[in-house]
Each structure stands twice: as C-alpha cells, then as structure tokens.
Structure 1
C-alpha cells in the first residue's frame, strides 16, 4: 500500500525529521510511486539515501524518465535508460517495478517500440506499463495485441482508475486541476502477472473516495486469494488525506482476507486537523 509521494505539507508531524521524510512515510505505508524520476534521474547518493530509509521489502515503483518514454518514445533511448538503471541500482530488492508510463499519443502502431524496450531490458527487472491511448480500451483488437505483447514480455498492464474522479463535475480547485491532467479512461481490473499494480484516484470527499474503491477491495482480495502480490496506490486530487486513506484501504482488504501481513505501525502522534 502506498501513495503518489512520500512527503506532503499535511503530513509534517508524521515526518518529524525533515531530512528523512521517506523514513517517516515508511512508518505508515510500505510502497511508493516514484514520480520524480520522470523529471530527472536521481544521483546514486540520493538513491542510496532512499535505500537507507526503507526496509528491504519496501516497494518502489519508479517511473522511467520522460526522455525515454515521451521525448524519444522508447526509440534510441538506450543511453538514458542505462543511466537510469545504474542510478537506481542501490535500491536492490526495493525496486519493485519499472513503471513505463506512455503518452496518450502512443498507440497501437507504436507497439513495436514497446516490445523492443521490454525485451531489451536486463534480466531481473519487473515492468509495469501504463497506456493512455483510447484504442487500447475501446478497440478489442488493439487491447488483445497489447495484452499479448505484455504477456510475452512478462510485463503488467498498470491501470490508473479515474472513474470516480470524473463521475461528477469537479467542485474544487484541486479537482479542477486533476480533471485537466488525469486521463479519462474506463476502469480495468484484469491482472496479467502475479504482481499487479493499481493507481486509484478519488475525490476531495472522503466518503466518495472510499465508496468508489469498493470494487478494488473485492478485486485485490481475489488476487490475494489467488496467490498474487498486488501493490495499490491511493490518490486524491490534493493527496492531503491519501496517507490515511491508503491505510484504510488496507484495513478493508484485511477484513476480506484475514491474516494479510499488516502495514507498519507508526509511533503515536497528536491529532491532525486534515485527517
């Protein structure tokens, strides 16, 4: 369970050491999306710090640099990819998956480039691919081609579920901003591997967010019973409550699958007005 980031102004009293915010976050969740790696490849020193602040079973799902996915569109990007893989090597087993987030313009005619990238990765890397082109959701033949490619490469299709966000008109600046940036695509719940990854975004209203994830609680519980090991990331438009919501989602899954490993137990803190 995790969030889209490991630091937020609303979480400051849960992350008392400003130099080790990740360590504070890891007392609440055991996975995190690595969105910052999309904008810049971190230094080895930075990645070593991430490793020191987290347990060996903590999961990083790191987004490939935009130079690879958006600027070069997976073509002739070997130097940038090698630099990235070398930089994140200190994470060791914490690097749960490489997240290949593709632009909305990356469609069925580009699948050859995706196949070349996935087959060219060194052994030992798990991959999760997020597509946003409507054809992969609306055209059965395009969907089948993508699933076949991912299956042959041993990669997962990473869904970003925005259906609750777009279910009603945006009612706040944060929701309006999310509407302008997030893809509007159908919900997808089919896993291709033993390590499915889901990104879910709700709304400002906590009740709507929780009600909207009920199908995912059922799906995740089913995956666990099948022996899969899913990773779920909870978002809201401003993410202020996502830390506590991630723990609530986990608690709802535990109610369906007793005996599931618990999340870390954070040290007691004073009450937070936003939670």
Structure 2
C-alpha cells in the first residue's frame, strides 16, 4: 500500500529551474513531473473535450506506475440540474469510451459537483456511479453543505458510495481560510475554493484528499500533522490513498506534498518515501 501524491497541474513557470531544467520543452514536462509525483489532477477534461491523440501523448510520456485522475465533463456534473438525464448519461458513457485506452494508468476519475447540486440530486449522483464501467476507481466530490450534515443525508450519501465502491473526495480548504486574505493569491483562492467541512471518511479503497495549503508554509503544519496520522491509519487498513496538494498560488504545492510525506515517514518508520524533490534551484540550474 502507498500514498500517491499529485498536484492540480504539471505546468507552472515557478517550477522551471527547480523541477524542470529550462532546456526542457513544455511538452516534455509531464514526463519529468511523473518522476517526482505518482499522480495528477487533470482539469482540462472538465472544461472541454481533449483530443484523444493528446491524451495518448500524455499517457506515453509518463512512467508506467503513474496514474491520471481526470475530471468528468461539466456537462455531466455541473449541468445535472438542467439537462435531460439521457443526454447526461450519453456524455458520461462517451467520456468512459475516451478513457478506455488509458485504463492501465488511470487513478480515481473525479465526478466533481458544484454547490448547486444539493440533496435532491443524490439519486442522480449514485446513478452516475452505477453507470461507471471501467475497471479503475471512481471518486465523487460534493460541495453542497447538505452532504456534510453528519445526519441522514450524509449517511445516505456515504452508504451509497460505499455500496458501489466509489471513493469520496475529501476537500480540506481549512488552511487557505485560516487567515484573512492578505495577498493576491489568498484573495483568489478564497474566492474560488469551496469552504466546506473536512470529513475524512473513506468509502472505498482509494480515498482522495484535496489539500489547499496556505502560502505561509509553517501555518500548514497543524493540518499536515492531522493528515499524516489519518493517512497512516488508512495505510494500516490496506487502503491506497491519493493526495492532491494545492497551495493558494500552487508554487509551493510540491514542497507541501514532500513535507506531508516526511511526516508519514516519521510516524511509520517502515514507510518508503514517495517524494524526493530537487534540493534547490541552484542545483537544478546545472542540469
């Protein structure tokens, strides 16, 4: 069992001359990224149809152990309330067909629903889960507060996921909302990231964590300590979690992921570290 770490992207200008040598072309960076991290969130599939040829290029560029976590199209998730079910189902089945050639490198595909999708759509969410036909994990992220009531609705939601062996996506945005927005990146993050309770419940074998870090890195320690303990518990239960680390501007996201990994290693000495980052920009500039 292992923790798979990833970012919300593999392209970031601040990572050049650190994770990537400046001589590496943009198209080659995903291959280099896959040498440091074992997964990535791919949000582009949420916004538009990605050319299967491009998907195949990404697939071919990464190491065999790498896992992509693609987000389902917004026509399936964010239009759940205003589109006919038949059209939604067709788009969902079409997306599965697009992913089929990539199954050997697929992590939990994400159904990410907006805050407008409340408890009235629970049966539709579970019906989409029931339609999933690929032999790879599926995960669901909900943002309406009804799904965090610790009562009837949340219980029904979690039971429905567990029955279908679908993973809950656990959003932890506590760090980024822990202070006033005193810089541009915090203003942007607080305006875009959901502020929902953090309920770290695993409903299947690959729980998914989305951690949104604070730009003052030391402020994250209290939450990273909590996650290190929870991840060790999950590993002890035989689970294989996916952890996607963001920060308010994502520059420091790789550092936060490495810090979390180190905390797990201190709690569980037999744990093999998953992340080894270049020590400094000065060293990597010699590549």
Distance 2:134 2:30 in 1: 28
- Aligned in 2, Cα 1:211/1:270: closer, same or farther, shift over 3 Å? same
Q: Distance in 2 between matches of 1:202 and 1:264?
A: 18
Moved more, 227-236 or 257-266: 257-266
Q: Distance in 1 between matches of 2:183 and 2:154?
A: 34
Contact 2:96 2:134 (C-alpha < 8 Å) held by counterparts: no
Aligned equivalents of 1:251, 1:270: Cα separation in 2: 21
SS of residue in 1 equivalent to 2:199: coil
Specify the SS of the correspondent of 1:26. Answer: helix
Could you say which residue in structure 2 is the equivalent of 1:8?
A: 12
Q: Distance in 2 between matches of 1:269 and 1:191?
A: 36
CA contact (8 A) 1:39 1:65 kept: yes
Cα distance 1:244–1:172, how it changes in 2: closer, same or farther (>3 A)? same
Change (3 A) 1:267 1:214: closer
The Cα offsets for residues 104-139 of structure 1, whole Å up to 9 and x where unpaired, read as: 011111111112111122141311100001111125
| Residue matched to 2:146 | 135
Counterpart of 1:152 (choices 157, 163, 178) is 163
Q: Any residues of structure 2 matched to 1:218-229 within 5 Å, and which?
A: 218-229=229-240
- 1:111 counterpart = 2:119: no
**Distance in 1 (alpha carbons) for counterparts of 2:219 and 2:6:** 19
Task: Compute the TM-score of the two structures, normalised by the length of structure 1.
Answer: 0.92
Contact preservation (8 Å) 1:118, 1:153 = yes
TM-score, normalised via structure 2 length:
0.89
Gaps of 5+ in 2: none
Q: Which residue of 2 aligns with 1:42?
A: 50
Q: Is the 8 A contact 1:44 1:90 kept in 2?
A: no
Check the 8 A contact 2:110/2:140 in 1, yes or no: yes
**Structure 1 runs not aligned, ≥5 long:** none
How many residues end up aligned between the 2 structures? 273
Specify the alignment match of 2:175 in structure 1: 164
Tell me the distance in 1 between the aligned counterparts of 2:206 and 2:230.
Answer: 13
Report the 3-state secondary structure (helix = DSSP H, G, I; strand = E; otherwise coil) of the residue aligned with 1:71: coil
